[in-house]
């Protein structure tokens, strides 16, 4: 290496360049090197972190949001809200004078009002809504929490007052409305596109009320945002925001070091030390509200047999995963809930690692030879920086108990769409929570409702489990809820529809002079409060 | 060297002898030949020499640096990769994929090229021209682009490498054989043989083939180095050998993920490819010189 | 000469037809719906299916289908990209200038460096010729992707001197006019024009160097070999005997005569150079046709893939023929050759 480096260094004589890595003088703003193409520009339609990062906080607003530091609900487009004593009616007072983005094809004639709220939520919950089936008609997050069944009706009291009537009390309703998915669209834009016969543009050429508007999106290249000139809140701090789509983590770090990226998403853990070698770079880490897991397709024999699933879980050496894949920046997953959740149960025993018993279990299930496919995500995600590597380790663990594991992978877009057909035996994937409510880890992942919406990767539907989850949702008292989640976690451990692997910290690399909260415990990246320090 | 000659013997060394003599006189060519021999031996027996299996993971030795590094260990001579697999063992196991597979492809392309080249070289008119166009179309598709197509049709895997690299090499062989035969056919000794009543087969077997062997051998060596580079490049682009496979290009691809923190995961397989190709090229270069000198 | 040109044109047409045939067969054999693979329309409606089946003559026999395919492609209808839903041709026009910019610069660099070095390597004195000879041999043996990675590591990281990825800092919002970044920057009237130009040039250095390596080595070797052969010829000896200085012999006689073989070898190596382009674009995430093709492959976008392959292969064929014509202009003897 040293010799090659020397030789190559002498090559510089051919090209005497000035000091590289300069900040551009003219074009100002911030470049965020992101990990992939946003699948859509409407967060209602997806649970993919990549799409949420590129849309939710930048382009849109919600009725209310969660304060990242205190965890309290704070107003956004709703200035005030109240709950009726029976817990069935939620009354929202809307902010006035909120302007939508103007684009080449759309100029808003009126500010935000109650119609937009009805339009945005109506699209999700009402199958008769003209936009309901546009762009596939799937609203994975809302379907997984059963929003349509929760809401009896929505009522427009005036231009600036809306009431949601629920079927039954729900402790996590406000938290659900504060997620990155519950964004507000423009009813006027929707109507215009409907008349022009181009309804899908609502999701591809977004119009929102957020601090940035979309300027240009080039697939596989970049997403460029410009500030929204008439933003109702504190104006966007950047002249422009660019998402540089760079799937390779190494390239992102290289660009960060070279100065082409100001902020780089998801550096690999082994690269953190490299970033820290440079004085002008910094690493941000935040313990994540997420879980990586290995989901078994419980509708496909022999994985419908809990003994087989338990046997597979016994064979996995999670400590090795932690050192190899996460390089110890994660904690072992004992259940679905990560330690920073308030409902986390520290007394929960970890899944044991016992290949010998695994073999016995397999024998007792009458299985001598087993060959399984494991689908592994092609790109790094918050909860699992390298699923392929994870799969390779699992492959070896499984070989120890005589199970042959085949690794299958596709490009991310293809992966997600193929997942929905549920042809897999098992899949390595995970979940990043959208709000602080523990229910967010259970209902979207393992409820029968989620089977329809597709976010139930284990294809698991257990009446007992469903009843417990419903009970937890209806309980207001924290301690009582905690006890129910404890039961749920134990049932998960005995049935193993999926095997929790780890809870990762979310990290990103940035140029040191960019200050401000980019990462939050929940939801996507946030460039609305970033500042450049000299 | 010189033996005492008791009797005056007129011994005319065969052309191959001559070429070998010229070849031997170039130190670089001899070094290359030794290197090539070593690589062939490794691709045949590498798997038995490797201290560990290609997939064995040492979870306490992730990204261990090579042994000469201050933190390195002799147990993992060239270091380990991100999964704790011994790089030396992987390289040894991978030799038969990158190097051996290249050999196989080249031999097959040579065989087919020889047949087609002979057919087109001895025939004229339409048949030759149709073949020419087909081959020109193939020639315009670099192996990498061919591999893109094959990967789309067959799905990624080593079979793509086989077809893509083989088909990319074939036109070169055909062209060389065709041109060489074409050239020989017009020479007088062939005409003489033909006038003697030699059948086309005899003509080929005894008159033409022996005289084009040197050119063909030279082209084979060159194709061999191209094949190694192509196989590695396809592995690197994940169009050929895939992740757990210890194919050298695929190893570089895996190493890229850690190139910033553990550059040896990229440099080691790269050096192995470089060594193999360089040895082949040295032999090729030596041959070229020897043939040129032999032919005057 | 006219006959010669006609013959080349004939060759071009025939080769293109064979190529299209190969691609058509490939399209039929690719996994997934054939109609989708040909047209790029994912989940076509009943009416679309009927229209496209008719357009591509899928209900007819193989020959009709092939002819319809040829007609579509030659009239510029490359279908839609399955991944983005946009016409493949539009996407190609977006990415091709980036590739051309890089390739042209790299070839210029290769000639600029390669020709003088080739002349030097043809010298008879001193260690330089041998060093250069050994150097080119080494250069031929280095895998392009590895060289790229090494340069990226060295210059991009250890020395922190050059950007090792991308085409320009994305904060410069250069409007797309010609697609050639350097030209577009000069055409724009933004206040940051010169800074952007400097930035774009910096981004060009590493990919250009890596891409130029292989053609440069080819040029050095062929120039050297041709020069040596040329300098042995009688007319040169005669001139030498008359006392014409060596540098003039080289510059006005030997070198011009060495250019034809160089072109010939370069044209034979076009495929290798194209492979190099793809690899370089992938390593340096250069947004050209190479990385576009790879993305199409990874995303299973078969329509885009075949469209891109067609364009790459056709340009190689056309370039080969152009280079052949150039050789013919340089060397009249070739014109008489019957083959082909």
Q: What pLDDT is recorded for position A71?
A: 72
Where exactly does CATH 3.40.190.10 map onto chain A? 1-35+220-227+239-283+507-534
Report the C-alpha gap between A261 and A467 in whole angstroms: 48
Residue A103 DSSP code: -
Among C153, C279, C317, whose Cβ lies nearest the Cβ of B140?
A: C317
Q: Is C227 helix (H, G, I), strand (E, B) or coil?
A: helix
As a whole number of angstroms, the distance between CA A184 and CA A292 comes to 30
Instruction: Say what the pLDDT of residue C54 is.
Output: 81
**Residue ranges of chain A that CATH labels 3.10.105.10:** 290-504
Q: Cβ contacts (< 8 Å) between B257 and chain A: which residues?
A: 249-250, 268, 386
List the single residue in A273, A386, A393 with the smallest CB-CB distance to B261.
A273
Residues within 8 A of C (CB atoms), B 132-171 only: 132-134, 136-137, 139-145, 148-149, 151-153, 155, 168
C157 touches chain A (CB under 8 A): yes
What number of C-beta contacts closer than 8 Å exist between A and B? 49
- In 3-state terms, what secondary structure has residue B136? helix
Contacts C166 to A, Cβ<8 Å = 244, 255, 260
Residue C130 in contact with partner chain B when CB distance is under 8 A = no
CATH of domain A1-35+220-227+239-283+507-534: 3.40.190.10
Instruction: Scan for tokens 């050929």, then name that residue.
Output: B240
Contact C149 B256 (CB under 8 A): yes
Mean pLDDT comparison of A483-487, B210-214, B255-259, highest-scoring range: A483-487
A:C CB pairs within 8 Å: 114
Domain with CATH 3.90.76.10 in chain A: 37-210
Inter-chain CB proximity A323 and B260 less than 8 Å: no
Put simply, whether A220 touches C (Cβ < 8 Å) is yes
What is the full DSSP assignment across B27-63? HHHHHHHHHHHHHHHHHHHHHHH-SS-TT---TT-TT
Phi, psi of B162 (to 5 degrees): -55, -55
Report the predicted TM-score, pTM, of the whole model to 2 decimal places.
Answer: 0.83
Q: The domain A290-504 is classified under which CATH number: 1.10.3720.10, 3.10.105.10, 3.90.1310.10, 3.90.1150.10? A: 3.10.105.10
Please report the pLDDT score of residue C338 as a whole number.
44
Tell me the nearest-neighbour CA distance from C278 into chain B, angstroms.
8
Residue C269 Cα distances to B32, B139, B170, B172, C217, angstroms: 24, 10, 15, 11, 11
Is the confidence at residue B141, as pLDDT, over 70?
A: yes
Res. B132: pLDDT tops 70: no
Interface of chain B toward chain A, CB-CB under 8 angstroms: 55, 57, 59, 62-63, 82-84, 243-244, 256-264, 267
Residue in A27, A248, A258 nearest the CB of C192:
A27
State the smallest CA–CA distance between residue C90 and chain B in angstroms: 21
What mean pLDDT, rounded, does chain B reach?
A: 84
CB-closest option in C14, C15, C312 to B145: C312
Burial of A88 (0-12, 13-18, 19+ CB in 10 A): middle
pLDDT tens by residue, B103-113: 999 999 999 99
Mutation to test the A interface, candidates C91, C164, C166, most A Cβ within 10 Å: C166
C300 in contact with chain A, both atoms CB, cutoff 8 A:
yes
Neighbours of chain A (3+ CB pairs under 8 A): B, C
Q: Long-range contacts of range A186-191, CB-CB < 8 Å, 24 or more positions apart?
A: A186/A100, A186/A106, A186/A108, A186/A112, A186/A116, A186/A119, A187/A115, A187/A116, A187/A118, A187/A119, A187/A120, A188/A100, A188/A108, A188/A109, A188/A110, A188/A115, A188/A116, A189/A100, A189/A106, A189/A108, A190/A119, A190/A123, A190/A131
Model confidence over C101-149: pLDDT tens digits? 999 999 999 999 999 998 888 877 778 888 888 888 898 899 999 999 9
**DSSP secondary structure letters along C273-323:** HHHHHHHHHHHTT--SHHHHHHHHHHTT-HHHHHHHHHHHHHHHHHHHHHH
Q: What is the per-residue pLDDT for C332? A: 65
Residue range C9-17: average pLDDT?
A: 83
Mark yes or no for CB contact B225/C141 under 8 Å: yes
Find residues 7-26 of chain B whose CB sits inside 8 Å of chain C: none
Q: Which chain B residues touch A249 with a CB distance below 8 Å?
A: 257
A19 touches chain C (CB under 8 A): yes
pLDDT means per 10 residues in chain A (534 residues)?
Answer: 43 37 57 90 86 90 84 89 90 94 92 94 92 85 82 92 90 86 94 92 93 91 92 90 90 89 85 87 85 91 89 90 79 88 87 89 86 84 83 89 86 73 86 82 87 82 90 85 91 91 88 86 82 81
Which residues lie below 8 Å from residue B186, measured CB to CB, with a gap of 6+? none
Nearest to C143 among B132, B274, B281 (CB): B274
* pLDDT given at position C286: 92
Note the CATH number of domain A37-210.
3.90.76.10
Q: Which chains touch B (3 or more CB pairs under 8 A)?
A: A, C
Interchain CB distance below 8 Å, B278 and C272: no
User: Does the pLDDT at position B82 exceed 70?
Assistant: yes
The span from the CA of C143 to the CA of C152, in Å, is 14
Using N-to-C axis directions, what is the helix angle for C302-330 and C289-298, rounded to 10°?
A: 150
**Mean local confidence (pLDDT), B36-51:** 89
Those residues with Cβ within 8 angstroms of residue A27's Cβ, 6 or more apart along the chain or in another chain: A240, C169, C171, C172, C173, C190, C192, C196
Query: How many angstroms separate the CA of residue B233 from the nearest CA in chain A?
Result: 18
Here the tokens at position A424 are 């897999």
**How near does any CA of chain B get to the CA of A423, in Å?**
18
Higher pLDDT, B248 or C246: B248
Give the ipTM: 0.87
User: Which residues does chain C have within 8 Å of residue A244's beta carbon, measured at their own beta carbons?
Assistant: 166, 170
What single string gives the DSSP state of each residue in B163-196? Answer: HHHHHHHHHHHHHHHHHHHHHHHTSHHHHHHHHT
Mutant choice from C140, C222, C340 vs B, greatest count of B C-beta within 10 A: C140
> What pLDDT was estimated at residue C176?
85
Q: What is the mean pLDDT of chain C?
A: 85
Between B10-14, C42-46, C171-175, the lowest mean confidence (pLDDT) is in B10-14
Hey, what domains does chain C have and what are their CATH numbers?
A: 2-74 (no CATH), 92-339 (1.10.3720.10)
Q: B295: exposed, middle or buried (C-beta count within 10 Å: 0-12, 13-18, 19+)? A: exposed
C152 close to A (CB below 8 A):
yes
The backbone region for B69, taken as left when phi is positive above 0, alpha when psi lies in -120 to 50, beta otherwise, is: beta
Q: How far apart are CA A496 and CA A489, in angstroms?
A: 10
Q: What is the pLDDT of residue C178?
A: 87
Q: Is the Cβ of B236 closer than 8 Å to some Cβ of chain C?
A: yes
Is B257 in Cβ contact with A249 (below 8 Å)? yes
Give the C-alpha separation, B269 to B245, whole Å: 13
Helix (H, G, I), strand (E, B) or coil at A480: helix
């Amino acid at each position: 290496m040293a010799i090659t480096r020397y030789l190559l260094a002498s090559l510089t004589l051919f090209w005497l360049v000035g000091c590289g890595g300069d900040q551009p003088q003219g074009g100002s703003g911030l470049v965020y090197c992101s990990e992939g193409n946003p699948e859509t520009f409407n967060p209602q339609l997806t649970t993919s972190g990549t799409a949420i990062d590129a849309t939710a906080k930048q382009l849109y607003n919600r009725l209310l949001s969660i304060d990242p530091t205190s965890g309290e609900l704070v107003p956004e487009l709703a200035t005030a809200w109240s709950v009726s004593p029976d817990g069935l009616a939620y009354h929202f007072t809307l902010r006035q004078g909120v302007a939508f983005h103007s684009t080449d094809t759309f100029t808003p004639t009126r500010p935000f009002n109650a119609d937009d709220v009805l339009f945005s939520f109506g699209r999700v919950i009402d199958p008769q809504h003209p936009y309901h089936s546009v762009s596939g008609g799937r609203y994975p997050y809302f379907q997984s929490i059963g929003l349509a069944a929760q809401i009896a009706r929505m009522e427009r009291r005036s231009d600036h007052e809306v009431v949601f009537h629920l079927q039954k009390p729900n402790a996590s309703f406000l938290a659900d409305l504060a997620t990155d998915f519950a964004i507000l669209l423009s009813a006027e834009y929707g109507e215009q596109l409907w008349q022009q016969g181009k309804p899908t543009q609502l999701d591809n050429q977004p119009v929102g009320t957020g601090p940035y508007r979309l300027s240009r999106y080039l697939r596989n290249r970049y997403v460029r945002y410009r500030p929204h000139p008439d933003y109702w809140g504190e104006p966007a701090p950047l002249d422009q925001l660019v998402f540089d789509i760079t799937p390779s983590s190494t390239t992102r770090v290289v660009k960060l070091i070279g100065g082409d990226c100001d902020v780089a998403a998801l550096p690999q853990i082994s690269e953190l030390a490299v970033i820290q070698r440079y004085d002008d770079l910094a690493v941000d880490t935040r313990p994540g509200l997420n879980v990586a897991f290995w989901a078994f397709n419980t509708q496909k024999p022999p994985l419908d047999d809990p003994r087989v699933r338990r046997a597979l879980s016994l064979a996995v050496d999670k400590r090795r995963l932690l050192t190899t894949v996460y390089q110890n920046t994660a904690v072992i997953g004992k259940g679905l809930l990560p330690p920073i959740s308030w409902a986390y149960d520290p007394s929960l025993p970890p899944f044991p690692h016992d290949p010998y018993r695994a073999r016995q279990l397999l024998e007792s299930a009458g299985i001598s030879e087993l060959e399984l496919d494991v689908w592994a995500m092609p790109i790094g995600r918050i909860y699992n920086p390298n699923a392929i590597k994870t799969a390779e380790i699992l492959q070896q663990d499984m070989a120890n108990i005589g199970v042959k594991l085949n690794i299958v992978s596709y490009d991310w877009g293809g992966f997600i769409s193929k997942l929905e057909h549920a042809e897999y035996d098992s899949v390595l994937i995970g979940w990043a929570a959208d709000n602080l409510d523990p229910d967010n880890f259970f209902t979207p992942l393992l409820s029968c409702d989620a089977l329809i919406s597709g976010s139930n990767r284990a294809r698991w539907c257990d009446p007992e489990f469903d009843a417990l989850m419903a009970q937890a949702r209806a309980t207001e008292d924290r301690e009582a809820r905690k006890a129910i989640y404890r039961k749920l976690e134990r049932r998960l451990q005995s049935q193993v529809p999926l095997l929790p692997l780890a809870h990762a910290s979310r990290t990103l690399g940035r140029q040191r002079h960019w200050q401000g909260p980019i990462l939050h415990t929940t939801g996507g990246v946030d460039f609305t409060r970033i500042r450049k320090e000299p | 060297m010189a033996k005492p000659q008791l009797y005056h013997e007129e011994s005319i060394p065969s052309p191959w002898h001559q070429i070998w003599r010229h070849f031997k006189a170039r130190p670089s060519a001899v070094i290359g030949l030794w290197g090539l021999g070593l690589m062939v031996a490794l691709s045949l027996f590498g798997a038995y020499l490797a201290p560990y299996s290609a997939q064995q993971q040492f979870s306490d030795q992730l990204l261990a640096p090579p042994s000469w590094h201050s933190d390195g260990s002799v147990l993992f001579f060239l270091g380990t990769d991100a999964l704790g697999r011994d790089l030396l063992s992987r390289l040894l196991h991978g030799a038969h994929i990158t190097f051996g597979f290249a050999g196989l492809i080249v031999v097959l392309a040579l065989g087919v090229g020889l047949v087609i080249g002979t057919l087109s070289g001895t025939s004229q008119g339409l048949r030759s021209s149709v073949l020419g166009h087909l081959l020109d179309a193939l020639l315009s598709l670099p192996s990498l682009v061919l591999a893109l197509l094959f990967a789309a049709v067959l799905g990624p895997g080593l079979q793509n490498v086989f077809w893509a690299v083989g088909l990319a090499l074939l036109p070169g062989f055909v062209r060389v054989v065709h041109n060489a035969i074409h050239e020989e056919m017009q020479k007088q000794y062939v005409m003489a043989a033909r006038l003697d009543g030699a059948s086309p087969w005899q003509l080929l077997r005894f008159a033409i083939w022996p005289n084009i062997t040197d050119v063909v051998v030279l082209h084979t060596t060159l194709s061999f180095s191209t094949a190694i580079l192509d196989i590695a490049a396809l592995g690197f682009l994940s169009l050929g050998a895939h992740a757990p496979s210890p194919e050298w290009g695929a190893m570089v691809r895996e190493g890229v993920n850690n190139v910033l923190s553990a550059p040896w995961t990229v440099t080691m397989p790269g050096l192995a490819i470089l060594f193999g190709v360089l040895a082949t090229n040295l032999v090729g270069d030596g041959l070229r010189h020897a043939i040129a000198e032999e032919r005057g | 000469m006219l006959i010669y040109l006609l013959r080349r044109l004939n060759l071009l047409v025939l080769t293109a037809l064979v190529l299209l045939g190969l691609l058509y067969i490939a399209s039929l054999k690719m996994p997934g719906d054939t109609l989708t693979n040909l047209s790029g329309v994912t989940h076509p409606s009943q009416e679309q299916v009927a229209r496209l089946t008719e357009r591509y003559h899928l209900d007819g026999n193989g020959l009709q289908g092939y002819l319809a395919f040829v007609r579509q492609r030659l009239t510029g209808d490359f279908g839609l990209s399955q991944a983005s839903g946009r016409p493949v041709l539009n996407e190609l026009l977006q990415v091709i200038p980036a590739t051309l910019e890089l390739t042209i610069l790299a070839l210029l660099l290769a000639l600029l460096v390669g020709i003088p070095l080739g002349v030097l390597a043809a010298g008879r004195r001193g260690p330089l010729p041998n060093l250069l000879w050994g150097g080119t041999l080494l250069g031929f043996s280095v895998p392009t992707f590895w060289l790229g990675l090494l340069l990226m590591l060295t210059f991009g990281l250890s020395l922190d001197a050059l950007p090792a990825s991308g085409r320009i800092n994305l904060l410069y919002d250069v409007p797309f006019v010609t697609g050639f970044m350097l030209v577009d920057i000069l055409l724009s009237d933004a206040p940051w024009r010169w800074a952007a130009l400097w930035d774009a040039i910096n981004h060009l250095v590493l990919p250009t160097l890596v891409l130029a390596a292989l053609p440069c080595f080819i040029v050095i070797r062929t120039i050297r070999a041709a020069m040596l052969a040329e300098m042995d010829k009688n007319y040169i000896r005669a001139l030498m005997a008359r006392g014409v200085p060596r540098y003039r012999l080289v510059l006005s006689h030997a070198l011009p005569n060495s250019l034809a073989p160089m072109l010939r070898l370069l044209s034979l190596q076009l495929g290798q150079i194209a492979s190099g382009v793809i690899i370089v674009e992938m390593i340096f995430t250069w947004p050209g046709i190479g990385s576009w093709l790879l993305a199409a492959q990874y995303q299973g976008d078969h329509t885009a893939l075949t469209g891109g392959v067609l364009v790459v292969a056709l340009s190689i064929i056309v370039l080969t023929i152009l280079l052949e014509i150039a050789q013919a202009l340089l060397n009249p003897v070739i014109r008489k050759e019957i083959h082909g």
